[in-house]
Amino acid sequence: MVIGFIIFAIFTFTMLFAARNDALTMIISNKISMLLLVCFFLIAPFVWQGWPIFGEHILVGLTVLVFGFTIFSLGWLGGGDAKLMAATAFWWQWSDLGLYIIYTTLAGGVIAMMILGGRAFVPADRLTAPWLHKLVKQEKNMPYGIALAIGALATLPQSEIFKAAVTLTH
C-alpha cells in the first residue's frame, strides 16, 4: 500500500504547509485545498468500503463546506480557512468529524490565547520579524489554518479512512 502511504504523507505535508502559510501570510492558497480534495479522491479507491461510506465522506465534506461558507459570510472565518476546513472534511466520516471539531476547537483556543496574550503583553518593538509582528499585532485576523492543521493531523490516525488503509496493508 505504498500509494496510500504517499497520499497520507501528502495530506500531512499539505496540512503543515497550510499552517505555515497561514502563520506567515494569513493566506491559504486554493491550491492547498484542491490538493487535499484530489488526494481524497485518489485514495478512495484504495480504501474502498462501498458506496454508502463514500457517500458519507461526500456528505460530510459538503456539509462542512456549507457551514464554512456560512460562518465566512458572517465574518467569523476567512475564506481560505473555510475552504481548507471543507477539503479536509471530505476525508472524514461523521464519527471522525466530531474528533476534528474537538481537536480544532481546542487548538484554536490555545492559539487564540497565545496571540491575544502576545497582543496584550509583548511590545510591538520586540517583534522584529515582519511575519511575527503581523501575526501578533494584527488586531482583526487570526491564522485559523494552524488550528485546522492541528485538528486534522490529530484526527487522521484515528479516522476511519486511515484505519481502512492500515487494514489493507496487513
Which domain covers residue 65, as residue numbers? 2-169
Angle at 11 between CA 7 and CA 17, to 5 degrees: 135
Distances (CA, A) of 31 to 15, 28, 37: 12, 8, 10
pLDDT at 46: 84
**Stated pTM of the model:** 0.89
Which is it for the CA torsion 8, 168, 60, 90, positive or negative? positive
pLDDT at 170: 54
Along the 170 residues of the chain, how does pLDDT read in single tens digits?
A: 576 788 889 999 999 999 999 988 889 999 999 999 999 998 898 888 899 999 999 999 999 999 999 999 999 999 999 999 999 999 999 999 999 999 999 999 999 898 888 777 777 677 777 777 666 666 677 889 999 999 999 999 999 999 888 876 55
Q: Which long-range contacts (CB under 8 A, 24 or more apart) does 125-133 make?
A: 131/23, 131/24, 131/25
**Contact in structure between 22 and 144 (CB atoms under 8 Å):** yes
Nearest CA-CA partner of 77 in 3, 2, 144: 144
Domain count along the chain: 1
pLDDT at 48: 84
- CA 169 to chain CA centroid, Å, is 26
